[in-house]
Amino acid sequence: MVRFVARRLLQGVAVVFLVATLAFILFRLAPGDPFTRMGDASSASQEFKAQARRNLGLDQPLHTQYFRYIANLARGDLGMSFSEQRPVLRAIADRVPATVVLAAAALLIDFLLGIFIGAAQGSRAGSKADDLLSVLTLTLYSVPVFWLGLMLMLVFAHNVGLLDLLPATGSKTTGVYEYLTPLGQLTDRIRHLILPAVALGLVGAAGTARYQRAAMLDVIRQDFIRTARAKGLRERSVLLGHALRNSLLPIITLFGLSFPILLSGTVLVETVFAWPGLGKFVVDAIFARDYNVVTGAVIISACMVVLGNLLADLLYRAVDPRVRGVV
């Protein structure tokens, strides 16, 4: 077990290193640097820009830049953000909690709802309810996340919405939050979380439900389900005790792969709901050619991939005894 995790983490380091290298190459190959745009807008002299490039080491040969970049990375130094004038790591760290909370809430909705709907469908395949849910989930899956977010806002949000139930934007009520009791603060944050998390989670749940339905259909045809019925179990025990657990195996893989995808999904949702997370920050950084921030975000994303897959593998081992000795 410990050896398994250690080996996986070591693999993870290799993945992150490769991704970091790719990110470096891609961004240095792209034309322009942080000062290209500055030149158009401001009146900064050529001399000033040359000086700034020297300060940041952008005048060095590429391989020198690369080795310094990797060496810094190994020490956890992602460089300075040109636009924020402070270390990238700190700028990112400020925004990660909001994004992680949003992504975790969305993942929870995604998988709980998706598994529930898909399992219910799979065990009643071909019924009217199954058909209806298929239409519903496929429709939902085709809806762009930001559009769903806007629609939710138009129905439920304060001021703009029909029902005036929940806050539309931000992660807390500015100006009021500081004066609330701890419980009040928590409620305030949860109320802000609901709409963006639901927007992101629902679309994911629609996809998960499709997978879960197929997985359930697959399991339900197997011989051990017949054995379970033959020993006189209730249908509910057959489905929950035997079919569901086996059908979760493919879903766990999907879960691991969903981690980074949700992170990119948050970009749109964070923009719509003005959520103070990583997504919007990174988009701005791309337009500002703030390399270090973008590379930093890519590396964080790679870490998410590694962690997501490690988590999925651990879950897999918990559910399926057959892989315990193997991977």
Partner 1 sequence: MSELLRVRHLTTSFMTGAGLARAVDDVSLTLLEGETLGMVGESGCGKTVTALSLLRLVDRPGHIAHESVIEYQGKDLMQMSPAQLRQIRGAEIAMIFQEPTASLNPVLTVGAQVDEAVRAHRSVSRADARARTVELFELVGIPDPAKRVNEYPHQLSGGMQQRAMIAMALSCNPRILIADEPTTALDVTIQAQILELLVELKQRLGMAMILITHDLGIVAGVADRVAVMYGGQIVEQANTDALFRQPAHPYTSALLRAVPRLDQPATRLATIPGAVPPATAWPPACRFHPRCPQTMDHCKSEMPGLTETGPAHLTRCWLAEEQHRRDA
Residue number, 126 or 182, with CB nearest to partner 1: 126
Nearest to 148 by CA among 269, 274, 275, 260: 269
Give Dmax (Cα) for the chain: 85
Give the C-alpha separation, 16 to 107, whole Å.
23
Q: Which of 47, 230, 236, 287 lies at the binding interface for partner 1 (CB under 8 A)?
A: 230
User: x/- string (CB under 8 A) for partner 1, residues 246-265?
Assistant: x-------------------
- Candidates 9, 245, 274, 284: give the one binding partner 1 (CB under 8 A): 245
Write the binding mask 94 to 133 for partner 1: x where contact by CB under 8 A, - elsewhere: --------------------------------x-------
Span near partner 1 by CB under 8 A; candidates 41-49, 82-90, 171-179, 241-249: 241-249
Integer CA distances (angstroms), 240 to 108, 202, 245, in order = 20, 23, 7
User: Between β-strands 86-87 and 80-81, what pairing exists: parallel, antiparallel or unpaired?
Assistant: antiparallel
**Window contacting partner 1 (CB under 8 A); options: 13-21, 85-93, 235-243, 251-259:** 235-243
Residue nearer to partner 1 on the CB measure, 124 or 191 = 124
Give the number of C-alpha atoms closer than 13 A to the C-alpha of residue 257, restricted to the C-beta side.
8
Which residue lies nearer to partner 1 by CB, 72 or 222?
A: 222
Burial 291-304 (b: 16+ CB within 10 A, else e): bbbbbbbbbbbbbb
Residue ranges in contact with partner 1 by CB under 8 A: 126, 221-224, 226-235, 237, 241-242, 245-246, 319-322
